[in-house]
Amino acid sequence: MTVLSHISQPKRVFYFSYQGRVYKLDSDSIWRLIILVILVGLSAFFTAVETAFLSLSKIRLQNMADENVKNADKALKLLENQDKLKNAILVADNSVNVGAAVLATELAIRYFEDKGAAVAVIGMTFIVLIFGEIFPNLLAETYSENFSLRVSRIITVLIKILNPVIIFLIFLTNLIIRLFGLKINKKPRITEEELRTMVDVGHMEGVLDPEEKKMIHNVFQFGDSQVKDVMIPRTDIVAIDVESTYDKILEVFKKEQYSRMPVYRNTIDNIIGILHVKDIFFFDDKKEKFDIEKNIRKPYYTYENKRIAELFEDMRKKRLQMIVVADEYGGTAGIITMQDIVEEIFGDIGDEYEDIMDEIQQIAPGEYIIDGLTRLSTLNEELGTDLESEHYETIGGFITGIIGRFPKKGEVVVYNNLKWVVIDVYRTRVKRLRLKIEDPVQFNEEFADRKE
């Protein structure tokens, strides 16, 4: 009979000393320590993944996918389903953190006995905070785009593996929410105020020009504005009486230089149509035979509280250029044109009949006509003024800020030896001003001193 004997191999043991005490580190403890390091590394990885993906710009990623950048389509798909991504990272990150905590506690108790639990808690808190959270967060924010593209395949596989667990957890969470009678309303991932702030920050950092910033803000305001905010009010309407002669109508068109005007009977509250200038100039019969009622177009009406975004769509579909705004009593509150609506975004457009005026026109020594959209920096450079504002970039806005409300035609503002007269306004905007320097000699001397 053959007797087989098994001689077990002794474990490899290492010794180290700390504060006069000798500690034994066997191979089992070494393997546990290696696994602990791997788990902390995985915790750092999952933290970096979450930070990197949430730092991505969806628009930028869409452009990269359109350009066939490697893995951009996978990263975009993950970003479009953020709930699954977050849940997968949550499950994976918490799993490795719990595993790391258990291993750390076992090792600490083995070597520090009664103090082991406290050592494990303090040590793991420090390690996870520094190496599992702060450090990977900083790296992920810095290299979010490149990192996300590289790990998108791995995370896609991870989500597929953890999908049953994720579904169960979502079901369990919803069940608990229902039991407590709670309602979870999903909010937009980004609000209008956050977008406005992003635009302001982009302008401050030089990414957006002042004109671009203003136009984007106008788009936001466009969605909230109502017809009554944009329309030409009743008091400013230039209209034609239906009883007017051909010569009278022609005279009004020449004077006002409008392409179309409303036609009324008896009172402006009874607008019966819109007359186009071409119907006057291309009338090839005797002017005595001109019948205004046969040439006017049917008027379309809207109400004061309608959003201009909706009205713009209506006018675009029906190809309308002018609409009458009715008040609550059925009278005329004002009129609104397609140009008025477009100018809400792009600013004053003007037309082919308006003269192009220089921003600054000198009309006498120390006296100027200035466009309301002239920048303060341009005025300071050209005229030697010292105008500064944190809130306004143009002289029109600056004067509005001084007055504290929308200026009226003829208003006078005296500021730092400068006399400003509002000579033209368009709704809420100052179009032109007259500047008079009270003491040109003293002003020029001060300007020369500032230049020196």
Give the tens place of pLDDT for each residue, 127-150. 888 888 888 888 888 888 888 888
Same domain, 41 and 164: yes
Full domain range(s) for residue 391: 360-451
Residue 186 is assigned to a structural domain of this protein: no
Residue 187 is assigned to a structural domain of this protein: no
Same domain, 153 and 67: yes
Same domain, 133 and 60: yes
d(CA 406, CA 397): 9
17-20 long-range Cβ contacts below 8 angstroms, 24+ apart: none
Q: At what angle do helices 192-204 and 210-224 cross, to 10 degrees?
A: 170
If pLDDT is split at 50, 70 and 90, which confidence band does 8 have? very low
Residue 344 neighbours by CB distance under 10 Å: 18
| Residue 316 CB contacts under 8 Å (≥ 6 apart), including other chains | none
Q: Is the pLDDT of residue 443 over 70?
A: no
d(CA 325, CA 334): 5
Give the tens place of pLDDT for each residue, 272-329. 999 998 888 887 777 778 888 888 889 999 998 898 889 989 898 989 999 999 988 8
Helical ranges in 180-307 per DSSP H: 192-204, 210-224, 227-230, 246-256, 277-281, 292-295
CATH number for 257: 3.10.580.10
Q: Is 263 exposed, middle or buried (0-12, 13-18, 19+ CB in 10 A)?
A: buried
Same domain, 46 and 158: yes
Give the tens place of pLDDT for each residue, 171-227. 888 888 888 877 766 665 667 677 778 777 777 877 778 777 777 877 777 777 888
Residue 264: both structure tokens together: 């009324």
d(CA 385, CA 447): 8
First to last CA, the chain: 115
Are 83 and 169 in contact by the 8 Å Cβ rule? The answer is no
Q: Which has the higher per-residue pLDDT, 362 or 17?
A: 362
Name the domain count of the chain: 4
Q: Is the pLDDT of residue 271 over 60?
A: yes
Q: What is the pLDDT of residue 422?
A: 92
200-234 per-residue burial string, b: 16 or more CB within 10 A, e: under 16: eeebeeeebeeeebbebbeeeebeebbbbebbbeb
Same domain, 233 and 149: no
Q: What is the pLDDT of residue 81?
A: 80
Q: Is 121 exposed, middle or buried (0-12, 13-18, 19+ CB in 10 A)?
A: middle
Residue 8 is assigned to a structural domain of this protein: no
Q: Is the pLDDT of residue 388 over 50?
A: yes
Supply the DSSP string of 382-399, one letter for each residue. Answer: HH------SS-SBHHHHH
Give the tens place of pLDDT for each residue, 95-117. 888 888 888 888 888 777 777 77
If pLDDT is split at 50, 70 and 90, which confidence band does 69 have? confident
Helical ranges in 113-143 per DSSP H: 116-127, 135-142
Same domain, 214 and 322: no
Same domain, 57 and 163: yes
Residue 120 is assigned to a structural domain of this protein: yes
d(CA 233, CA 427): 9
Q: What is the pLDDT of residue 267?
A: 92
* C-alpha dihedral, 307 to 309 to 311 to 315, nearest 10°: 170
Residue 448: both structure tokens together: 């020369």
Residue 5 is assigned to a structural domain of this protein: no
Same domain, 261 and 200: no
Q: What is the pLDDT of residue 266?
A: 92
